[in-house]
């Protein structure tokens, strides 16, 4: 018989006392049960004494089901998990608010889940318990004398980009403006500048965190260095709520940089481009930061093999003549349908790479690191699966990305155990990606998720069992091993030290040590 911790028993009692009904399908919260047809909604009384007490302690107040603003605030960015709604939302404006909410959660047996940007790929920024909405904690300040940037725990990529654009320094971050720096940096932090300027987590020099005991702690290489190590790759939602970060800044290039984008169509060219790009990355200098992608598009009466869109793009921190030599193998594949090769101001390029907000939709990415180029025969198999993608409309489709940002001398100057981010010594990150509308038939999401599993099945024999923790996927059989590899044991020890009751938890959370 499965034993239950005191916190779990408290949680069940609190749910009953608050009148929160846990619908059967959502209790497990797995991919097959959390669907667009789920209709779970908390029913706790807005007059609950416990929530009234919490509201008195939180400067931003507490939102409950039925309150104005609860609906949109409760929705995660990934519509796939929109059926999971919290019992309440604590709107935290500062570390003191967070500490009060964490202590209240522990006292009432509910698991606090922090939400900044809300972009967890597997819905781990939502919960049927208490959401800590820290979106107001998005300040950004630069200390030029110290060469650092300090952000609130939920500053978004867009906030940081807006603050630094046009200036002499920047923070290498992600590509989506709406993603929070907390989730990004805690799990690594990749983007179009990582290959030459480093992971966001590698540039972290300090952080403030509220731990499970309600204490506000400052982390650095000299203060709580074990927890600081864990916060550079151990992912969010495991050790506490990070309310502030300080990062070392990078000098922005003063001279123009070089940019390319090539486009092709067709399955044969997709296989050739992806295989060529894979080989090109082996000797790519740090200054080259590039991706390649193939997408299954609408057939529209033609051949499924013809309806494959292919693209590679990137930036080179150097002259265009050198970039031309580096990307010559791609041009040798076949003449592109569209060719762009030009110089750009650095900040113009960054604005172009940053993707803005889009309509709320569902997605199901999964990833696999590759330490070396995979065989051409495996690339052919991947492209064949792309041709067979079960849905190929503009808003429901599958694509395959090779993210060539994640290796090279800059990222690999750290060894695999120097920070919690373990994935050093890699060539690229393969990323089968699916999207579909929230109102699609549930079979659409299931079909696409099965398709991504087949893609990983092709990649698995040729890649180490490692997956990016910032692209979590609930279908991974051994997620903790894939996210953290040889760093997992140390992460479990640190988790046990700072959160011995496992207050911060999710379906793929780092566990506490038993016994």
pLDDT tens digits, one per residue of 221-259: 999 999 999 999 999 999 999 999 999 999 999 999 999
pLDDT digits (tens, 9 = 90+) for 49-91: 899 999 999 999 999 999 999 998 998 888 999 888 899 999 9
- Tell me the backbone φ, ψ of residue 467, rounded to 5 degrees: -135, 145
For 393, residues 6+ apart whose C-beta sits below 8 A from its C-beta are: 298
Residue 512 inside a domain? The answer is no
Q: What is the dihedral of CA 425, 426, 427, 430, to 10 degrees?
A: 180
Specify the CATH number for the domain of residue 75. Answer: 3.30.43.10
Instruction: Based on the fold, state whether residues 263 and 402 are members of the same structural domain.
Output: yes
**385 band by pLDDT with thresholds 50, 70 and 90:** very high
State how far the Cα of 9 lies from the Cα of 15, in Å rounded to an integer.
Answer: 10
Q: Are residues 100 and 176 in the same domain?
A: no
CA distance 44 to 66: 10
Residues 429 and 345 occupy one common structural domain: yes
| Residue linked to tokens 């309150």 | 67
Q: Are strands 428-436 and 362-363 parallel, antiparallel or unpaired?
A: antiparallel
Neighbours of 413 (CB within 10 A): 11
Q: By three-state DSSP, how is residue 67 classified?
A: coil
Task: Among 107, 135, 163, give the residue marking a domain's end.
Answer: 135
Give the C-alpha separation, 120 to 406, whole Å. Answer: 20
- Per the structure, the count of domains in the chain is 3
What's the pLDDT score for residue 13?
A: 37
Tokens matching residue 180: 């929070």
Instruction: Give the model confidence (pLDDT) of 415-432 as tens digits.
Output: 999 999 999 999 999 999
Average per-residue pLDDT in the chain?
Answer: 90
Provide DSSP, 3-20: ---HHHHHHHHHHHHHT-
242 and 261 inside one domain: no
Q: What length does the chain have? A: 515
CATH of the domain at 157: 3.30.465.10
pLDDT of residue 118: 82
**Residue 502 falls within a domain, yes or no?**
no
The C-alpha atoms of residue 110 and residue 90 are separated, in whole angstroms, by 13
Same domain, 393 and 246: no
Domain for residue 514, yes or no?
A: no
The residue-averaged pLDDT of 16-25 equals 31
pLDDT, residue 101, reads 97
Q: Helix %, strand %, coil % for the chain, to 5?
A: 35, 20, 45
Residue 159 lies in a domain: yes
Could you give the maximum distance between any two Cα atoms of the chain, in Å?
Answer: 70
Task: Give the pLDDT score at 122.
Answer: 87
Q: How far is CA 295 from CA 312, 330, 341, 363, 411, in A?
A: 12, 17, 22, 15, 28
The pLDDT confidence band at residue 45, using thresholds 50, 70 and 90, is very low
121 in a domain, yes or no? Answer: yes
- Say whether both 270 and 239 belong to one domain: no
The answer to whether 308 and 386 have CB atoms below 8 angstroms apart is: yes
Q: Is 214 among the domain residues?
A: yes
CB 226 within 8 A of CB 499: no
* Residues 6+ away with beta carbon under 8 Å from 255: none
Residues 163 and 229 placed together within one structural domain of the fold:
yes
Residue range(s) defining the domain that contains residue 272: 257-483
Q: Are 162 and 223 found together in one domain?
A: yes
pLDDT of residue 357: 61
> Does residue 24 register a pLDDT over 50?
no
DSSP track, 113-169: EEESS---TTSTT--SSEEEE-TT---EEEETTTTEEEEETT-BHHHHHHHHTTSSE
* pLDDT higher than threshold 50 for residue 449: yes
Is residue 151 domain-shared with residue 294, that is, in the same domain? no
Contact, 158 vs 178, CB < 8 A?
Answer: yes
CB 350 within 8 A of CB 170: yes
The encoded tokens of residue 125 equal: 């920024």
pLDDT tens by residue, 485-499: 999 999 999 999 999
Residue 514 has pLDDT above 90, yes or no: no
* Strand locations in 84-162 (E): 88-91, 112-115, 130-133, 140-143, 148-152
Q: Are residues 234 and 264 in the same domain?
A: no
Residue 233 tokens read as: 């790759």
State the CATH number of the domain containing residue 424: 3.40.462.20
Residue 467 contacts by C-beta under 8 Å, 6 or more apart in sequence? 366, 367, 368, 369, 473, 476, 479, 482, 483
Query: What local confidence, expressed as pLDDT, does residue 358 receive?
Result: 66
The token pair that represents 303 in the structure block:
């051949």
Residue 326 belongs to some domain of the structure: yes
Residue 513 token pair: 């040590």
Asked if residue 501 is part of any domain, the answer here is no
Task: Say how far apart CA 28 and CA 507 lie, in whole Å.
Answer: 9
Looking at the structure, do residues 107 and 184 belong to the same domain, yes or no?
Answer: no
User: Residue 8 — pLDDT band, cuts 50, 70, 90?
Assistant: very low
Query: Order of strands, edge to edge, in the sheet holding 112-115?
Result: 62-63, 88-91, 130-133, 112-115
Whether the CB-CB separation of 11 and 55 falls below 8 Å is answered with no
Q: What does the block give as tokens for 80?
A: 């796939």
What does each C-alpha distance from 69 to 38, 61, 267 come to in angstroms? 21, 12, 47
Q: Do 79 and 360 touch, CB atoms closer than 8 A? A: yes
* Antiparallel, parallel or unpaired: β 362-363 and 368-370: unpaired
Residues 163 and 126 in one domain: no
């Amino acid at each position: 018989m499965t034993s239950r911790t005191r916190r779990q028993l408290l949680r069940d009692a609190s749910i009953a006392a608050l009148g929160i009904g846990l619908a059967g399908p959502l209790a497990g919260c797995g991919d097959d049960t959390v669907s667009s047809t789920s209709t779970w909604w908390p029913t706790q009384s807005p007059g609950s004494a416990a929530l009234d007490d919490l509201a008195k302690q939180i400067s931003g107040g507490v939102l409950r089901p039925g309150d104005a603003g609860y609906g949109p605030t409760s929705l995660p960015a990934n519509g796939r998990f929109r059926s999971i709604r919290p019992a309440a939302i604590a709107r935290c404006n500062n570390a003191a608010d967070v500490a009060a909410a964490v202590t209240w959660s522990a006292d009432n047996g509910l698991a606090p889940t922090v939400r900044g940007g809300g972009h967890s790929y597997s819905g781990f920024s939502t919960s049927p318990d208490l959401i800590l909405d820290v979106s107001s904690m998005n300040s950004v300040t630069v200390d030029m004398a110290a060469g650092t940037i300090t952000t609130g725990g939920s500053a978004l990529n867009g906030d940081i980009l807006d603050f630094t654009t046009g200036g002499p320094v920047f923070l290498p971050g992600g590509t989506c403006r709406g993603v929070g720096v907390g989730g990004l940096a805690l799990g690594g932090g990749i983007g179009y500048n990582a290959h030459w300027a480093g992971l966001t987590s590698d540039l972290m020099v300090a952080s403030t965190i509220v731990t499970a005991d309600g204490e506000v702690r400052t982390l650095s290489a000299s203060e709580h260095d074990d927890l600081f190590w864990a916060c550079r790759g151990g992912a969010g939602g495991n050790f506490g709520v990070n309310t502030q970060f300080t990062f070392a800044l990078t000098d922005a290039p003063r001279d123009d940089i070089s940019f390319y984008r090539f486009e092709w169509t067709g399955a044969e060219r997709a296989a050739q481009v992806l295989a060529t790009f894979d080989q090109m990355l082996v000797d790519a200098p740090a200054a080259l930061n590039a991706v390649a992608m193939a997408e299954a598009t609408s057939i529209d009466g033609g051949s499924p093999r013809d309806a494959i869109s292919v693209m590679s793009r990137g930036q080179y921190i150097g002259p265009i003549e050198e970039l031309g030599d580096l990307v010559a193998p791609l041009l040798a594949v076949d003449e592109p349908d569209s060719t762009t090769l030009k110089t750009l101001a650095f900040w113009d390029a960054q604005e172009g790479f940053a993707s803005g907000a889009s309509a709320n939709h569902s997605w199901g990415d999964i990833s696999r690191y590759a330490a070396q180029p995979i065989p051409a025969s495996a690339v052919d198999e991947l492209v064949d699966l792309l041709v067979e993608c079960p849905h190929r409309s503009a808003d429901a489709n599958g694509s395959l990305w090779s993210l060539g940002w994640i290796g090279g001398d800059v990222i690999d100057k750290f060894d695999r155990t120097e920070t919690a981010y373990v994935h050093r010594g890699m060539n690229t990150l393969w990323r089968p990606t699916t999207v579909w509308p929230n109102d699609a038939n549930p079979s659409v999401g299931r079909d696409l998720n099965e398709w991504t599993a087949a893609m990983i099945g092709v990649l698995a024999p040729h890649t180490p069992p490692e997956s990016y923790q910032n692209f979590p996927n609930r279908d991974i059989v051994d997620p903790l091993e894939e996210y953290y590899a040889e760093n997992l044991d140390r992460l479990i020890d640190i988790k046990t030290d700072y959160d011995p009751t496992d207050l911060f938890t999710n379906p793929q959370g780092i566990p506490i040590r038993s016994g």
